[in-house]
Amino acid sequence: MNPFSTHAPRSLRGVIWMAMAVVVAAGGLAVASLLPEGNPLHASAFVVSLAGKYLSYAMLALAVDLVWGFAGILTLGHAAFFALGGYAMGMYLMREIGARGVYGNADLPDFMIFLSWKNLPWYWWGSEHFAWAAVLVVAVPGLLAGVFGWLAFRSRVSGVYLSIITQALTYALMLAFFQNGLGFGGNNGLTDFKDILGADLHAPLTRAVLLLVTGLLLAASLLAARFVVGSRFGNLLVAVRDAESRTRFLGYRPEQAKLLVWVFSAMIAGLGGALYVTQVGIINPGEFAPANSIESVIWVAVGGRGTLCGAVLGAILVNLGKTLFTAWLPEFWLYGLGLLFIGTTLFLPNGLMGLWRHARKAPPEEVTPEVADTQGDEA
């Protein structure tokens, strides 16, 4: 008997609608930013930058939902992949400054001259080319995720132990990037960016284009994630999540399925980090902080784990709430975030997407089917 239930997934339409909403919202805000300042529909540079940051965070949340919601891997270290993608793009943006830096050196970034570096480190080679930087944005997080995942999943590390190890990974990277000798700006990180592909980063048109590109790439990532989890491979992921031992007895290799989705999610997170840097204008070791990874888990929980759309929605709403809350009572934000997570766990275990389904009085559904109880069927 087939161990998987056979009902067809019904969430494709919702994912398409969410992707369209993201693109339309990003495009509309981009157009509004190009209107004259006196126009009541004008969007300021601050609003555009903030929106771009929210969409970048949504990509991180989507990556977390892939591994937590569909493979059952509670990651507390995905901020590491987000930050690595950001640093890869930051390297290109630093080289793009050229001789316009404080020290007027076209070959070395200002911070390297300040620290008496004589030559560019080998891992900076080629970083002046956007195409190479784009490759590094996804390749570096993917490679690290591949090595880490191969070691962890091959050893069958799971549950809270795996969560602790992922947290240790991002914390170790944070400490390493704080070191000036590593060649990434130390505590200050990489900043003072000026151009991207020859376009002024601070120009309204450039900001508008970056916001639209971020919306398009988020929509593409959302559709790609839906394609993955809606496939037979997605069925396997849910089987691993719900009954890993039974899946292994059926002849599948759960560690391989986990590794593949782990690497894929890391690449999405790295892409989000790169887009984040172009709009925020800085990347420093603080982005590796374990607290950032924990926050991304909260975004997914609030939006709805295992729904994809919920991860995007949760990231945007929680960060919008953070912006408003910290403007009024900044010292109480962490308490508010903790209460939000506790309240979600107790009263909204399925997140906002679960509440929406309940309001529509629709039956619970997932992108991928649950593993059926074969013993119960046989009985």
User: What is the mean pLDDT of the segment spanning 321-344?
Assistant: 92
Higher-pLDDT residue of 107, 320: 320
Q: How far is CA 379 from CA 374, 375, 376, in A?
A: 8, 6, 5
What pLDDT is recorded for position 374?
A: 44
- Exposure letters 133-153 (e unless 16+ CB within 10 A, then b): beebbbbbbbebbeebbeebb
DSSP, res 124: G
Mean pLDDT of 349-362: 81
Q: pLDDT tens across 57-100, in order? A: 999 999 999 999 999 999 999 999 999 999 999 999 999 998 88
Contacts of 236 (CB under 8 A, 6+ apart): 247, 252, 257
Among 167, 328, 65, 58, residue whose Cα is nearest residue 336: 328
Q: Provide mean pLDDT across the span 140-146.
A: 98
Beta strands 195-196 and 190-191: pairing type? unpaired
Q: What is the rounded CA–CA span in Å between residue 78 and residue 266?
A: 7
Report which of residues 345 and 367 the model is more confident about.
Answer: 345
Question: What DSSP letter does each residue of 257-286 carry, written as one string?
Answer: HHHHHHHHHHHHHHHHHHHHHHHH-EE-GG
Residue 151 tokens, joined:
């070691």
Instruction: Quote the pLDDT of residue 222.
Output: 96
Neighbours of 14 (CB within 10 A): 18
What does pLDDT average to over the chain?
90
pLDDT at 13: 87
Percent of the chain with pLDDT over 70: 92
Query: 237-250, pLDDT tens digit by residue?
Result: 999 999 999 999 99
* Greater model confidence, 357 or 240: 240
Distance, in Å, from the CA atom of 212 to the CA atom of 158, rounded to the nearest integer, reads: 38
Q: What is the DSSP string of 183-220?
A: SS-GGG-EE---EETTEETTSHHHHHHHHHHHHHHHHH
Structure tokens at 206: 């450039």
Q: Read off the tokens for 150.
A: 């191969």
Q: Are 127 and 253 in contact (CB under 8 A)?
A: no
| Domain residue ranges in the chain | 16-294
pLDDT band at 186 (very low <50, low <70, confident <90, very high): very high
What pLDDT shows up at residue 99? 86
Q: What is the pTM of this model?
A: 0.91
What pLDDT, in 10s, does the model give residues 18-35?
999 999 999 999 999 999
